[in-house]
């Protein structure tokens, strides 16, 4: 049965897909993954949808700056996201879009990955140490995981431009050289980051 909610493309959302809703957002199950989207109904105008989108972005951007999780919770989150990535890589999938906005917290503050729409599904048995999909590889996934860990520990976003040094005709991802990355040796969990 359809609800009064619409997805990002304006299509009706079924009751079976809805995990929860609030004043400005909706959490859906899509392909066995929880996805949080701005609230949109048939009667919503463009301004309301944009406002809900902005609220969702603000929520994502401000949680770690407002709430300094304990060291124990930071470690738990870093372990959870590392285990999740390991599980995904074991199934021969490259995520490619690992960022804090693609992780959700449930009611007991466990962290869950969502929105892997940029992922590459590789043939089972692929050697994850050598696979390459337009420059994306397991090492880039791990590097991007480090940026999320950095944000967990510091509360600050760390952006890494994988296309910064490309020529105009090179659309491949490249991990920046170490000298262009922040030093993390003095941070809690810095060696892992």
CATH number of 87's domain: 1.10.510.10
Verify that 49 and 74 share a domain, yes or no. no
Rounded Cα distance between 57 and 20, Å, is 18
Backbone angles phi, psi at 5, to 5 degrees: -95, 150
Verify that 117 and 71 share a domain, yes or no. yes
Q: Which residues of 26-58 are buried (b: 16+ CB within 10 A; e: fewer)?
A: bbbeeeeebbbbbbbeeebeeeebeebbebbee
Helix ranges, the chain (H): 46-66, 71-90, 138-154
Of 18, 39, 58, the last residue of a domain is: 58
What average pLDDT does the chain have? 84
pLDDT of residue 91: 95
Q: What is the pTM of this model?
A: 0.69
Verify that 48 and 102 share a domain, yes or no. no
Rounded Cα distance between 33 and 102, Å, is 11
Verify that 47 and 130 share a domain, yes or no. no
Confidence check: pLDDT of 120 > 80: yes
Of 32, 58, 84, the last residue of a domain is: 58
Residue ranges making up the domain that contains 13: 1-58
Verify that 7 and 88 share a domain, yes or no. no
pLDDT of residue 164: 81
Verify that 72 and 46 share a domain, yes or no. no
Verify that 108 and 35 share a domain, yes or no. no
Verify that 121 and 176 share a domain, yes or no. yes
What secondary structure letter does DSSP report for 24?
A: S
Confidence check: pLDDT of 33 > 80: no
Number of structural domains (the chain) is 2
What secondary structure letter does DSSP report for 78?
A: H
Q: Map 118-129 to HEC letters.
A: CCEECCCCCCCC
Verify that 72 and 43 share a domain, yes or no. no
Verify that 80 and 17 share a domain, yes or no. no
Task: Name 25's bridge partners.
Answer: 38
pLDDT of residue 63: 65
Rounded Cα distance between 33 and 35, Å, is 6
Write the DSSP assignment of 116-163 as a string of letters: -TT-EEPPTT--TTT--BTTB-HHHHHHHHHHHHHHHHHSS-----TT
Share of the chain above pLDDT 90, in %: 30
pLDDT of residue 124: 94
Confidence check: pLDDT of 107 > 90: no
Verify that 84 and 16 share a domain, yes or no. no
143-166 pLDDT tens trace: 999 999 999 998 888 888 888 877
Verify that 28 and 100 share a domain, yes or no. no
């Amino acid at each position: 049965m359809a609800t009064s909610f619409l997805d990002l493309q304006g299509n009706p959302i079924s009751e079976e897909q809805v995990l929860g809703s609030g004043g400005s957002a909706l959490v859906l199950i899509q392909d066995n993954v929880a996805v949080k989207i701005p609230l949109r109904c048939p009667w919503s105008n463009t301004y309301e949808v944009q406002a809900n989108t902005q609220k969702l972005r603000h929520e994502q951007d401000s949680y770690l700056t407002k709430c300094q999780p304990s060291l124990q919770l930071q470690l738990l989150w870093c372990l959870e996201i590392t285990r999740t990535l390991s599980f995904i890589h074991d199934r021969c999938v490259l995520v490619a879009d690992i960022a804090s906005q693609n992780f959700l917290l449930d009611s007991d503050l466990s962290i869950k990955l969502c929105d892997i729409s940029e992922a590459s599904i590789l043939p089972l048995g692929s050697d994850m140490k050598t696979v390459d999909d337009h420059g994306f590889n397991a090492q880039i996934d791990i590097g991007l995981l480090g940026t999320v860990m950095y944000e967990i520990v510091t509360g600050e976003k760390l952006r890494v431009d994988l296309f910064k040094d490309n020529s105009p005709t090179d659309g491949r991802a490249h991990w920046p050289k170490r000298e262009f990355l922040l030093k993390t040796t003095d941070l809690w969990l810095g060696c892992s980051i």
